[in-house]
Amino acid sequence: MDQVQIPEVVLNSGHKMPAIGFGTAGSPAPVAEQLTPIFIEAIAAGYRHIDTAALYGTEEIVGQAVAEALGRGLIKSRDELFITTKLWCTDADHDLVLPALNQSLRKLGMEYVDLYLIHWPVRIKKDDTNSNKMMHFDIQGTWEAMEDCCRMGLAKSIGVSNYSCAKLSKLLENATIPPAINQVEMNVAWQQQKLMEFAKRNEYTYVHSLHWEHMDPIGVLMQWWRIRSLKTSLQLEIRLPFRFLNKITSIALRWVQDQGATPIVRSFDRERMRKNLQIFDWELTDEEVGKMQQIPQQRASMVKDFISPDGQYKSLEELWDGEI
Ligand X SMILES: NC(=O)c1ccc[n+]([C@@H]2O[C@H](COP(=O)([O-])OP(=O)(O)OC[C@H]3O[C@@H](n4cnc5c(N)ncnc54)[C@H](OP(=O)(O)O)[C@@H]3O)[C@@H](O)[C@H]2O)c1
* Binding interface with ligand X (CB under 6 A): 23-25, 51, 119, 161-162, 183, 215-219, 249, 264-269, 272, 275-276
> What is the rounded distance in angstroms from the CA atom of residue 116 to the CA atom of residue 122?
16
Q: Is 119 annotated as a binding residue?
A: yes
Nearer to ligand X, 178 or 217 (CB): 217
Q: What are the beta bridge partners of residue 155?
A: 113
Q: Residue 82 pairs with which residues in a beta bridge?
A: 49
56 catalytic? Reply is: yes
Closest approach, Cβ 88 to ligand X, in A, equals 10
Distance, CA of 147 to CA of 176 (rounded, Å): 8
Q: Looking at beta carbons, which residue is closest to ligand X? A: 23
- Shortest reach from residue 141's CB to ligand X, in Å: 21
Closest to ligand X by CB, 259 or 267: 267
| Least CB distance to ligand X at residue 152 (A) | 23
**Per-residue buried b or exposed e for 145-169, using 16+ beta carbons within 10 Å of the residue's own CB:** bbbbbbeeebbbbbbbbbbbbebbe
Specify the residue, 35 or 153, whose C-beta has the smaller distance to ligand X: 35
What is the 3 state secondary structure string of 250-300?
HHHHHHHHHCCEEEEECCCCHHHHHHCCCCCCCCCCHHHHHHHHHCCCCCC
Pick the catalytic residue from 56, 112, 116, 313.
56
Name the β-bridge partners of 262: 213
Residues 43, 69 contacting (CB under 8 angstroms):
yes
Shortest Å distance, C-beta 49 to ligand X: 11
Of 135 and 189, the one with the shorter C-beta distance to ligand X is: 189
CB nearer ligand X, residue 165 or residue 252: 252
CA distances in angstroms from 321 to 43, 62, 106, 168, 216, listed in the order given: 38, 34, 36, 11, 21
Closest separation between CB of residue 264 and ligand X, Å?
4
Percent of the chain that is helix, strand, coil (3-state, to 5): 40, 15, 40
Instruction: Give the residue ranges of the annotated binding site.
Output: 119
Query: Which residues carry out catalysis?
Result: 56
Instruction: Give the residue ranges of the annotated binding site for substrate.
Output: 119
